[in-house]
């Protein structure tokens, strides 16, 4: 079974600074997707960034970037120039690439990291 581990229950960063959230996962699959989702107080899940396992290049989305280490099964998220609006719960998630239907395509979440942004 796939597992996703986030070892940092809470993190804090000052505004404009950089913070890195850690995530490790375990799988026997070779083709899969990794995601970081943000859940603000509204509790709407928002996709922050996506990484395809077959791509060696790390994904970037504006101030958000990942460090994907496939051999180490590590997928950390770096937030640069942190803003107050970045404060939220961040979930790392894994999904096997077995098509898009059925329970085999389910998303497995880590336990989350609560990010606080201070002035």
How far is CA 115 from its chain centroid? Answer: 13
How far is Cα 115 from Cα 88, in angstroms, rounded to an integer?
5
Window 71-100: contact mask with other proteins (x via CB under 8 A): --------------------x---x-x-xx
Q: Which residue has the tokens 């389910």?
A: 106
Q: Specify the length of the chain in residues.
A: 119
Of residues 1 through 60, those in contact with other proteins by CB under 8 A are 33, 35, 42-45, 47, 50, 52
Q: Which stretch binds other proteins (CB under 8 A): 22-30, 57-65, 74-82, 109-117?
A: 109-117
- Is 111 a binding residue for other proteins by CB under 8 A? The answer is yes
- The CB density around residue 59, as the number of other CB atoms within 10 Å, is 19
Cβ nearer to other proteins, comparing 47 with 84: 47
- Region at 93 (left for phi over 0; alpha for psi -120 to 50; beta for the rest): beta
Cβ nearer to other proteins, comparing 57 with 100: 100
Output DSSP code: residue 91: E
* Site of interaction with other proteins (CB under 8 A): 33, 35, 42-45, 47, 50, 52, 91, 95, 97, 99-103, 105-112, 114
């Amino acid at each position: 079974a796939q597992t996703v581990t986030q070892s940092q229950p809470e993190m804090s960063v000052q505004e404009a600074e950089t913070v890195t959230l850690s995530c490790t996962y375990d799988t026997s699959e070779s083709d899969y997707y990794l995601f970081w989702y943000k859940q603000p107080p509204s509790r709407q899940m928002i996709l922050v960034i996506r990484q395809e396992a077959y791509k060696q290049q790390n994904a970037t989305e504006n101030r958000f970037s990942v460090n994907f280490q496939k051999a180490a099964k590590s997928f950390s998220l770096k937030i640069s120039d942190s803003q107050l609006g970045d404060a939220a719960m961040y979930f790392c998630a894994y999904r096997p690439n077995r098509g898009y239907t059925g329970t085999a395509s389910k998303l497995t979440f880590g336990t989350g990291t609560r990010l606080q942004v201070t002035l």
